Each structure stands twice: as C-alpha cells, then as structure tokens.
Structure 1
C-alpha cells in the first residue's frame, strides 16, 4: 500500500514539474521579430523625384545607390519617376550633383543596335521594392532584374530567358547625360575572362564646378565572350558566354583609384551569395529603423512613419573608401586625402557628399542627435575634415568640394548642437575657429547660392556695417538666392548659435559680438506693416509692400512665412509685434488661412512659384517656416502647437502615394525628419544649440513611442513617450509628466531624455492650457 502511495506521489510530482516546465516555456517565448523594412512605402512622392530622391538598393548613406532610372535628363524630374513606364538604365550613384555608371542588361539581336535602342518598358504590378532591394522585369526581352548593395558595392542579378543564352549582354553606358551631369571619358577594360575595370568622369555642373573621376571594378560569375566598343556613342557592350544560369555582377566603386574600387569590392562582398547580401541589407535597415518603435495608430500611419524615417537616413552619400582614402577637390589641384585610422587600421569616420544643411536646425539636428548620434558624430568630423583641407566648413559639399548651395552658414547650428549634446568630442577650439571663419569676411556667409568665385552676393559687408543685407543688393546679381531680408534673418540666428559655443568655451568677447549680431533681425522688421520686409541700401522700406509676394526679399519664401524666422528670440519678436497675445493672434490667423491650401504650396517644390500657391501664409513644404507650429509653444500656447501639428500631419503628411508625400522640397531627408519629429511630438526651436538643449513637446500621433538610445553616447537605455487615450480627436495633453515631475511648460531637457525614462501624456479632446 505504501508503494502505491509513493508511486502516486511520484506521478503527481512529475506532472506538476512538467506543467511548470511548460508554463516557463510559454512565458519566455519571444514575439516574432518585426520587419520594419516591410512598413516602408518606397514609392512615396516618387513622381516628384529629384535625382537623389528615390532609393532602393542602397544601405544607409551608401556610396552606392543602385536603382532604375526612367528619366535621365537634369537633376530635377529625373531618376526613378513612377509614372514613366520605361527603364533607361540602372545607375550606381544618385547623389547631390553626382551621377555615374549606368548599366543595362540587353539581348544582342542582329536587327537591333544595343548602343542606341535599349530602353525597356516595365510594370509596377510585378515590381518589388524594399529598403536595400529592387526587383523588376524588363518587358522588352523578359529579363528579370534584381538589385542589392553594400555601402560601396552594387550587386546585380539578371535572369535571361533560356533561349537567349547565346545573346546575353550588358551595356555599359559610360557616355550619357545622367541626372545632374554628363558622364564622359569612359573607359572599360577586361581584367581576365570574368573581370572588368574602368573609369568615367562626372562632368562639372552649375552647382559642382569641378569634374570628378569615378573608378569601378566589375566581377561576373560567367565568362566574358567579348567587349564591343561603339565609335559613335563611345559606349561598350559586354557579350557573355552561353549559359542558362542567372548572371551575377558585382560592381565596386571608388572616387580615388581602380585599386580602391577593387579593395572596396573585396572587403564588402568576398562571396557570390546574392541572397546573403539582400538579407544583410534588410537586417541593417531593420536595425536602423527600429531605433524608434511606435505602437498604436493605423497601419497607414505606421507605414508612413517608417517611410519618413527611411527618408531621414538616405540621400547624403559616403565618398570615402574602406581604407579611408577620399577625393579632395577643395584646393587648386585634385588630391587623394586620407582619413585618420583607429588602432585597428580602420577609418575613424566616413567622408560625405551632402546637399545643404539649410533648414537642418529643425530636422536632422534633432532626429540624428537623439536617435542616431553616431551619424551626427561622423558628419561633424566630415565637415571638419573639409575645413582642414580647404579652409572652410561647407554648407553642402559635392565631389569633395564646396558648392556654396543656398545661403548663410547653415552648418554652424549642426556642429554646435553636436558639441552641446556631447556627441562631437574633437578639438572644440578648432571647431570654434572653423565656424567663426564662416561668419567673417572670406567665409561662406559672404557667398550667395553657388557663388563660386566672388564674395558679394551674401551682402556680408552691409550686414556687418549696417546690421542688415539690402534688398536689392546695390552691386547687382552675384550668385542666386539674393534676398537680403531673408539672408539677414538667417545670419542673425546663426550668429546666435555661434555665440552659444563661444559661451561654452568662455570666450566672453565673442559672446558679446555674436549676441549683438543676433539682434540684427530687428533691423528688417517693418513696425508699420507688422512684418519682416525688404529694405534697400538707403534704409527705405519697399513701397507697395505685399507680405505674400514670393522671393521678394526672402529666400524661397514670402514675408509672411519668413517673419517667424527668429527661433532664438521669439520673445523679442513678439515684443515687436505688440506682445505675445498679438503675436499668437497673428500666427493663428496665418494658420487658419494656410489650412485652406493644406499648409503647403501645392504638391511639389516647383509649385511654390504658382500664382495661387505662392501666396500661402505658412508653407510647411519648404524649410523657412517649418518651425511655425511650435512657435505657439514658445509663446505660451502649447495647445495650439498640439492642434496645428496634428492638422498639418493629417492634411499634408499622411498620404501614401507616388504623386504626393512631402508636398515640397524633400532635401535629402529634411522633410522626412520633420515628419518624424511632428509625429513623435518632439521639436527643438533653436536647433538644440544652447547648453543642455531644450525640446518642445507637441502631440504624438501614436499611443506609445520608444526611442532606443545609443549606448556609446547615452546611458539611459530607452526614452518612452506614453500617450494614453490617443486618437484622431484626442490631440491635447495636460502637463506631461516625466519620471514623476510635471512639465508645465511643455519642455524637456536633452540630458533628461538621454538619461532615460518615461514621458506620460494623457491625451484628451479638449485642452485646459489656454
């Protein structure tokens, strides 16, 4: 009897242990991994594309951006244009003022000249695009094309029809107009029966005044039968041996030498697994996109959010090789520079090609500085490398040289916020000297847009002597973007940001100088009209003043939009307007009118010149007034910031379609970054340039936002925004609570965020903050 009881006890105990064991397995089971790349809608706004806009087979900031081109003439309206149904080539470089190496798989038929007759229709129905990968079918010869890449190497996969095995070929279109510039002086040579190498020249453009040579190394998985060169087009067709296998082609590029192109290829793709590179690319994009995790909202809102975030991480391109060699075009003669190496003999940072930082103070300054500090770190070092090479910190470098794109010293706020957030830890005295040079005679402030050989268009002499830039400039037209009052506003803000760095370094005399200059915005405020206004050399205000006249004294904007470009002294601006209440009333009226046009000047940048659209009081489609919803917050009305940011997101930045998306000028991730910030409810009015920078709190559209803080820069682990009861109608929050402390002014400091914690916002349909 005892044995039976013991047996029953043993069975009972064993059952309990098995049950507990099973329970533990259920508890520790991890949820399925989220593929953030699947939430990206890559075709967004692709009908309004610029050459560098669309990205498919590319890594974050990759030197290679491999994608199909349906239009190839001009920087605007070129590259991948969704509604154009024919592919004209697959090119490897889509960058600011740079393009290069267009190739096209073709079938060599006796009746067709492959050098001049190679365009092919394709269908979006079978097309597949995700970050890092592109698939489409060329209808003309039923060739399936797949593309992927690493940072410096493009990887192609071509499936030809079996019956075309003897006629397979690849066109290397080395002499062609391609986006912003012509490709010329192309050379293609065999390096063995399955290898090629060559070079081409990216011809100078109006914006990039010097040529740039591009080198490439090509490896194929199938033998080359012959190379045919055409005397008329000067291009080459590579004929392949017969085989039924898919053709794989790896293309490494470099701006320094063929040897470095080969090295880039060897180091980044030493194998032949196309699928492995696709997988690794997807993993890299997932890792980057997962830095900000959102919960709640609709599927479309989440798709649009990760598409915006994807845009914030592309466009600006690496130009340095794996060994740190890079093209330096800043001097009289071209030279190959060398980035500093770490103890592992690896470059300490990459060198970059970049469109202007004009407007970056309200976009990537905040987003990169918070979620991607390693990117801000690299770009700051890259900007300083340009200074060491050429004597100036650029505002938009291309081809290893200055372009003088746009106006002002727009890189100053970027570098200063990088220092204030303790991201850049280089020589701060050197950084101050470098930035200060741009604010003095001989610096970038003295040059208006693309003014390569003179220093007049910036009107800096007048600014220093009289406190404003005249409009029109008495000396005449030098460069473009000569709009004196707009330039004055930019300079005054940028002077303020430089003063903040001087303050950090205890340079009291420079603090006084640049803080005094930061007040120069008052010199272009017309108190009679109540707006910023154009003012001539004699100090006279423009007669028949129209605050809605576009580019009449203001860069890519009108007076109504530009009046609020005083992010460093909104209290002072409000005082000029008669007090905060009147300033709020004025801005509220502007937003009410702007809503009638959905807050943007049409659906593309070119529409800003349209007679109807250009008269909009606030334009959220271009940089000069994208900060305006958060002006309410700084003037004591956070409820209006919450209301209008939600309205702007709803009407201007929620769609998913090829013919709309940013409704303006998406300058290499600036508008994508802005959208991300609006949607998570964080913003920095003065670009994060003061000590321990301040963030303004808006109205997040998601119930929960988790930002994974980079452990090499910030110790907090995660920063969470918990917006309970969030909905399309519940857009307001009472004072947010962060780690138990009520934030009645709707602001939070950088160190508080990066130390980690949870910001609690109880969302409601009505606000008590009025």
Structure 2
C-alpha cells in the first residue's frame, strides 16, 4: 500500500483542499505530552522536528502553545527518548549557560503548522525558522536579520522532555559538517541507556566552531575546549557566523540514527541529497496526503473535516521507526546493545519498520480496527517489532523504547493486534512465530508475569500463575512484585479477553487442540462477577469478595483506580467482556436491565463530557479519557437498541472529540494515536467491540457524520459509504441501510464484505427507527460461508 495511492489521491482532491491542508497539528497543544505535537515530521518517521517550550516530564512538555518562550528545536520526540536540540541566535552566544539563556519569546504571528512543515518566528532574534523532515533527517531553514554575529547551538547534554542525558560527543568533520551523539539516561520506564547519533550538515561554511565540556576545575560548570572534539557529561557545540546580511539564510540538515554516526550520515545522504527546501516540504506534504487520503471524506462542516484529518494524522505520529535505511536497528534487550538488521525488499528498503511504541494497552478499540481496515502495513510493522523482541529475547514484547522492552501497563497487549490482523486476512508476519509467542506469554515465563514497568530477571506482579491457579488474579497481587498497575480484577478481565484471542488464533491456524483451553480461560471473567451486586468485584485468594467495595471510588486509589482495578473502577470494568457481550448482558439481568443501567451511566456523564479529568478515573461511570471504557457506547447494539448506540456515539463524538482549538480536542491522554483513531471510527460510523479478533469479524454500523466516505483499500479496491438525510435536520439515527444495492437490517457488517469493496448507503434522520439493526439473518450467511453480495 505504501506509495501507490498518490496519483489517485491527487485526482480526487484536485478541486479542493487536500487532507494535509486540513489537518491541524496545533489542536489541543496547551498542555500536551512530549510526544504529542508533530508538524515537521512524516508518518511514522524517526524524526519529529519541533520547537520545545518546556522540559521536565512526559505529560506536560515539548511544544506548549501558551508558553512564553521557545527553548530549542529538537529532533526526537518519543515517550521515552529524545535528542539533538538546535537553537539559532543572534548576538553574544550564551550556549554555555544552558537552554534557558538562549531562549526566545514565542510569537504565534506568522506561524504555520501543517503536516510536514512548521514556520515560526524567534522574536528576540528576528530569525524566521522553517522546519521540515524526511523519515530519518531534519531540515532547518533559518532566515536571519542583519547580524554582526549569529550562532547555531547544539546542546548535546541538555535535558529534553522526560529524558536527562548521560553524556554527549561531537567532532568537526569539515567546515560545514559535525557529527556526534547524545546518550539518553535511563528513565523510570526505560531502564537502560539509549544513544541518539547525528550527522549535521550546514549549507554555509561556519566562520568558527566551538565545543564545550565540563570545566576541569568545576565539574558543574562548562568550559570551551581548544580542540575540535568534545566528549563529556556536559557537551555541546555551536557554529558561528559573522556579518550576516538581512535576509541571509543558513540551512541545516541533521541525519539521525539509533545505531551509529556513520548510519546517521547514510540516512541523511540517502534521504536529503540536496538543499532544495521547498522540494523537501512538497515531498513531505505528498507523503501526508498519501497517508491521510486513504480515507476520503466529503460533506460535514469544515470543522469536522479538520478534526477528522487531525485525528488521522495523530494515528501516524505516536509510533516512530528506529531502523536505518539499510535496515539496521539496535537491539538492547540483552546485557549490551547488539546491531541487528531487518531484511530488505527487492527495492532495497527495510521490509518492515522497527518501531518505538508505547505499548498497545486498549488499542483493540481503536488502532487495531483502523489498521486492519485501511493501514495494515503499519499494524504489521508493530506486530513484527514485537515478534523481533520474541526472537531477540525469548519474550514477545508489549513495549518498545530504545530497543528495549519496558513492560508498559499489563498483560499481553500484542495478542489482540496479531489476532485482528490474522482474522481480517491482513497479516504479513510469521503466523507460526506469532502463535508461539502468544502461547508462551499466556503462561508463567512470559510477559504476563510482569505488572507495569516491572523489570528485573523475574516478574511477580503480573499474577499469571495465580490466574491459572484460582481462575482469577486475586486482590493480593497489589502486594506482590514491584511493578505498577497491579489490579487483580482488571488483569483477570484483560487476560480473559486475550485468552479468547489466542483461542481464535488457534482455530484459524488449524491448531484446534489448543482452542478449548483458552476458550475456557476466556470465561474466567465470570469468576469475579458478583451477581448479587451486578458488578465485577475483586476476590482474595480464599475466594472472599473484597469488602468494603465501591463500584465508583469516593477517593483516589493507587494509579487513579479503585482497589483491584487499573486506572478505572468496577463501574467501567464490569463492561470489559468483549469476548462474551451476550453473556455479560444475561448476568446483568437481560437486555432491558442492561440498557437501562448503561443508559443511566451515560446520562450521569453528560456534565463531565463523558471523560474524567486525568487522575480522576476512579470516580467515573463513563470515561472516554482512558482506554478501559472506549467501547461503552457501542454496547447498546448488542442489547437490541442500536439507536441508543447511534445516539450516544454521536454525543460522545461531539462532546469529547470534536473540538479543534489549541486547548481541547481529545479530553486527556491521546496516547499515541489511540483517541485519534477512536474519534476517526466514530466519524465514519464503523467499530467493533471485539476488536476484529473474532473468527468471522464484523464491523458495527453507526451514524457517519459525513455525506460520503471513500475508503481506498489494499489491492486497489474501494468501499464507499453514502449518507442521505433531510437537509437542515438532525442526522443522528439510521433509518435504513442498503449494502451493495440490497436492504441490510443488521447493525453488523461482515469484514470480508468491506474488504471486498463495494458500497453502503445509509439513510439518516432525526428520530430513531427502532426496527432497524435488530435483525440477524444477514449474518447467518457467515455461518454457511455464503458471500454477501
């Protein structure tokens, strides 16, 4: 799929704005995560070149729109890796005094931020900074005022975002070239060092070059060296220019690598062979249009289109490649780093991307669905990344930062992705290897041994041994091991869903002898469902219910959760049974009782905008700020009331995810594209509570917000959704659906029908049609393997 849609895309958008013109990187950047903002970057690119206005943590760093000063422009903005800050200045150089000394007022006048390009003015220096990027290199263009002296500073040991630096190194190669590296110190999440290498090339020979290191007499101070080389725990370099004319430009290209300085230069040479800045910007826009244009929308308001393509953009900036153009990447799972190589295709490019990724906790309700539908190669990239961890270290991973497994959150989050790609026939990874990795992780000795961020040679906080012994993870897990997120009831529910995924993998891979055991384990959720209260409730090792018990917390517990849960509570986690929604409905009292209860939950969440403030997850009944409840509005369809799914999905979309201002748009933790993907699915009116992990997966139909949606699918096929509704009236409710010209009365659409290409017409209106979506005869064709025309 990479690169094949460009001509088609441009012909479709020749008469209007292209998606890259509509996507807005400045949405919700008042208080972002360090890895949230990206303009000068490509989809999944190693380099995300952007201004930084604040450093110090993950949750509130990087480019913050309302800050007063710009500190630097840096090239790496991942959740746990950072590197190579650059700052152009005029006047006396203050590089040795730290980033704050060279800061400039942040002025938004004249600012342009679009996918692939960022322009911003450094007010204190009169410098116009323009930024763009290839996959593995950053491209700066600085337009200076008349200046007696000007400098370009590269501080290699400055703390960036959540990362401090151990040391830095730089040396002069020529009058226009510098190379070096920064060593990222360990963080709470990433336990080992990580080195970011660079090769920098200037368009104009510098008049002088200066390096600094720790002072020989005061290790806390910096001093200039007399040699063209520095290697120290306080290291940096600045290139100086004298007597610049007004409007004179200095350009800088910086290649990046996680392997070596030689590879950083190779990446730069391969991806930026000339100094044509406008052409680099055009290439970036073309790549973004190719990515965003796989889903083409028409109609709706301009605000809705801006938010839609902004959401899609976010799905491509949270996970970033770390392999070089020759396929080399650093495996840091052992006692020392090892350079390994991804096989190259016949075109000489890596056959997949080795990604830096903040895990997949909850992605079965957002990214897994979107990847399987339209972007399978990126889902396969992540699958292959974690399978490489299995080959390199013996355990299939769930996180990837700096070539290291960091054990984010809990469980085996990779399994639902592997299963979704497998069941939708999108998998290009080694299926046998995937099943072996999933099987190992489902028993002691695998990833489920470990709670969140639990390192060390042996994990205890995951409780998989207790899960197998008791049929649930008991509440005592909170006192076992040294990890985080040790919520036994939540673990039980997540493990049961993951076991169901493995059972389905086994069935599809003709390993049916494995399926019964995992299907039995998929029912372990019933072991912690207290039918007397109607809630999932933690148990201890003796089988006693947790007492006292609050479905909704009255005060904050560990990690924003009530006892036994993870970043949530029993009120939300009690609905976490995607593998057996009908069974859940039965134990909750049947369709009517289930609908009444869930509807009451949503009505109570209207004042909060259906999202708890970050840190208050324990107190919510509905919480679209966080992963455990991303499916709630779609559950009504399973209880015979799809019109309520249509209503509440639209309400959540509008209240939680519709804003396009700098201060709102995601209502909390966007979490590497997950909420962007969820918002995208709500906008196009397709979802799947089971995360497309069933043996015969389906897409659930809700009300799209656009008049026409064209999906450009792998293999050159298209699927088109056309909506009709009375103009000027509300279009929340589905009145009728026609699939490939024939009436369709089920809320579920077979995934195979979608991928085969075709069309669906949805007639919408202001009042519910309570007869639509409750008939299942179409889906019975799946059981008989008949094709739905």
If the TM-score is normalised by the length of the shorter chain, which range does it land in? over 0.9
Change (3 A) 1:438 1:336: same
- TM, length-normalised to structure 1: 0.92
For residue 137 of structure 2, what is the aligned residue in structure 1?
153
2:725–2:765: 8 Å Cα contact kept in structure 1?
no
* C-alpha contact 2:138 2:255 (8 A) present in aligned 1: yes
CA deviation after TM superposition for structure 1 residue 478, in Å: 2.2
Could you say if the C-alpha distance between residues 85 and 723 of structure 1 is closer, same or farther in structure 2, counting changes exceeding 3 Å?
farther
Which residue in 1 is equivalent to 2:70?
87
Contact 1:701 1:727 in 2 (8 A): no
CA RMSD of superposed structures (Å):
1.8
- Which segment drifts farther, 382-391 or 354-363? 382-391
Aligned to 2:241: 240
Tell me if the contact between 1:297 and 1:727 (Cα under 8 Å) persists in the aligned partners: no
Q: 1:456 to 1:29 in 2, by over 3 A?
A: closer
Q: Which residue of 2 aligns with 1:23?
A: none
Q: Contact between 2:144 and 2:244, CA under 8 Å: does it hold in 1?
A: no
Measured in 2, the distance between the counterparts of 1:413 and 1:112 equals 48
Deviation at 1:703, TM superposition (A): 1.5
The Cα offsets for residues 602-638 of structure 1, whole Å up to 9 and x where unpaired, read as 3xx34x26xxxx4221101111001011111122211
Please tell me whether residue 564 in structure 1 is matched to residue 590 in structure 2: no
The aligned runs of 1:516-665 (5 Å cut-off) are: 516-549=520-553, 550-602=561-613, 605-606=614-615, 608=616, 614-665=618-669
Query: Judging changes above 3 Å, is the alpha-carbon distance between structure 1 residues 30 and 419 closer, same or farther for their aligned structure 2 residues?
Result: closer
The answer on 1:364 being equivalent to 2:375 is no
| Residue 689 of structure 1, CA deviation | 1.1
Distance change (3 Å), C-alpha of 1:384 and 1:497: same
Structure 1 residues 141 and 426 mapped into 2: Cα distance closer, same or farther (>3 Å)? Answer: closer
Question: In terms of Rg, which structure is larger?
Answer: 1
Residue 50 of structure 2: which of 67, 87, 107 is its match? Answer: 67
Deviations, residues 8-52 of structure 1 (Å, cap 9, x unaligned): xxxxxxxxxxxxxxxxxxxx9995253211212221111130110
C-alpha displacement at 1:723, in angstroms? 4.2
User: For the residues of structure 2 that align with 1:125 and 1:443, how far apart are their CA atoms?
Assistant: 53
1:225 Cα offset (Å): 2.2
Task: Report which stretch shifted further, 646-655 or 33-42.
Answer: 33-42
- Alignment partner, residue 57 of structure 1: 40
Going from structure 1 to structure 2, the CA distance change for 1:110 and 1:676 (only over 3 Å counts) comes to closer
The whole-number CA distance in structure 1 between the counterparts of 2:94 and 2:159 is 26
CA–CA separation in structure 1 for the residues paired with 2:442 and 2:668: 29
Shift of the alpha carbon at 1:277? 0.5
**Where do 1:11-22 residues align within 5 Å?**
none
Counterpart of 2:121? 137
Distance in 1 between residues matched to 2:424 and 2:335, nearest whole Å: 36
Measure the CA separation in 2 of the matches of 1:292 and 1:428. Answer: 28
Question: TM-score by structure 2 length?
Answer: 0.90
Q: Spell out the pairing of 1:208-607 with structure 2 (5 A cutoff).
A: 208-230=190-212, 231=214, 232-233=221-222, 234=234, 235-240=236-241, 242-244=243-245, 245-453=248-456, 454-473=458-477, 475-476=479-480, 478-549=482-553, 550-602=561-613, 605-606=614-615
The 8 Å contact of residues 457 and 479 in structure 1, kept in 2 or not, is answered as yes
On the 8 A contact 1:736/1:746 being kept in 2, the answer is no
Give 1:395 deviation, angstroms: 1.2
Counterpart CA distance in 2 for 1:53 and 1:367 is 19
Q: Following superposition of structure 1 onto structure 2, how do residues 90-109 of structure 1 map, counting pairs within 5 Å?
A: 90-109=73-92
Matched-pair contact (CA < 8 Å) for 1:499–1:514: yes
CA contact (8 A) 1:72 1:88 kept: no
Give CA-to-partner distance per residue, 1:532-578, whole Å, 9 cap, x none: 11222222112232111133211111111111110110111111112
1:352-389 CA distance string (max 9 Å, x none) = 10011011101111111111122123222222222111
Q: Is the 8 A contact 2:470 2:541 kept in 1?
A: no
Q: What is the alpha-carbon distance in structure 1 between the residues aligned to residue 93 and residue 496 of structure 2?
A: 66
CA contact (8 A) 2:94 2:102 kept: no
Residue 22 of structure 2, aligned match among 25, 39, 45: 39
Indicate conservation of the 8 Å contact 2:708/2:720, yes or no.
no
Cα distance, 1:692 vs structure 2: 3.6
SS at match of 1:178: coil
2: CA distance between counterparts of 1:40 and 1:643?
27
- Structure 1's unaligned 5+ residue stretches are 1-27
Residue 4 of structure 1 is matched in structure 2 by none
SS at match of 1:124: strand
Structure 2: gaps spanning 5 or more residues: 1-10, 215-220, 223-233, 554-560, 772-789
Q: Is the CA contact (8 Å cut-off) linking 1:467 and 1:517 kept in structure 2?
A: yes
CA spacing shift, 1:480–1:332, aligned 2, 3 Å: same
**Matched residue pairs, number?**
731
Deviation at residue 96 of structure 1 after TM alignment: 2.3
Taking the aligned partners of 1:91 and 1:29, their CA distance within structure 2 comes to 36
Distance, in Å, in 2 between the alignment partners of 1:457 and 1:87 is 42
For 1:728 and 1:223, the matched residues in 2 are separated by 64
Would you say the 8 A contact 2:490–2:564 is kept in 1? yes
> What secondary structure sits across from 1:47 in the alignment?
coil
2: distance between equivalents of 1:660 and 1:694? 32
Distance 1:322 1:83 in 2: 37
Distance 1:457-1:30 versus aligned 2 partners, 3 A rule: closer
Shift of 1:584: 1.4
Q: Could you say which residue in structure 2 is the equivalent of 1:119?
A: 103
